[in-house]
Amino acid sequence: MKENKLKEWKDQINSLGDLSADEIKSVVDQMKYEIGNLKFQIMVAKEEGKRKDIQEIVRDANSQMVFKLEERVSELLSEKKEMEEKLERQEKTIHRLYNDAYKIEGCRYVFSDIPNNFIGNTMVDYMKKFINKDSYKMRVRGQYLDTSKLEVGESWKTYEDGQPISKSKCLRIYIDKKKGGK
């Protein structure tokens, strides 16, 4: 279509000698209008091209940002996994060290079946007197409920969690390490 217009204008310019001044002015005005219209179309095309370029740039930038974010997320996930594995190893080490230092093998009590009489109580008193109190703690508990010492209405159910020493046949001694001591 543009080529047809150009050919038409050439023909009109060649035939200007045959036209009057008003007709020449009309042809020139028409040419100016067409030139302005073409300039506008070129400007619109450039703007559309710029918009498309900008949209492509934005799309590319977004895809690059998404790619970088995905990379960072995968890095963080791998770091998280490494940290969890490290934490698990440390927890196992802590449990192993704690068990090595504080695990009690066998029964927790050191002495049992000590008669609850003068001789047994004297032995317990001397043990309390001479134990290393900086490193150890000594606990004395009753063992075996003495039914002859129960009052009316009392039974073993009254002392399900352990009876007092005064109502026990024997004594049991627990010796515990104090925290920080080995």
Q: What is the pLDDT of residues 24-65, one digit of tens each?
A: 777 777 777 877 777 777 777 777 776 777 677 777 777 777
pLDDT in tens, 130-174: 888 888 888 888 888 877 877 777 776 677 777 788 888 889 888
Indicate if the pLDDT at residue 182 is higher than 60: no
Q: Could you state, in order of their start, the residue ranges of all structural domains in the chain?
A: 1-103, 109-177
Tokens of 35: 């030139």
Closest CA relative to residue 109, chosen from 83, 140, 76: 140
- Amino acid identity, position 49: G
Indicate if the pLDDT at residue 10 is higher than 70: no
pLDDT in tens, 15-25: 656 666 677 77
Q: Name the β-bridge partners of 170.
A: 115, 143
- Amino acid identity, position 56: E
pTM equals 0.41
Mean pLDDT for 108-115 is 82
Q: Which pLDDT belongs to residue 83?
A: 93
Closest CA relative to residue 146, chosen from 166, 120, 160: 166
Indicate if the pLDDT at residue 6 is higher than 50: yes
- Tell me the average pLDDT of the chain: 79
Q: Which pLDDT belongs to residue 82?
A: 93
**Residue 113, H or E segment:** strand 109-115
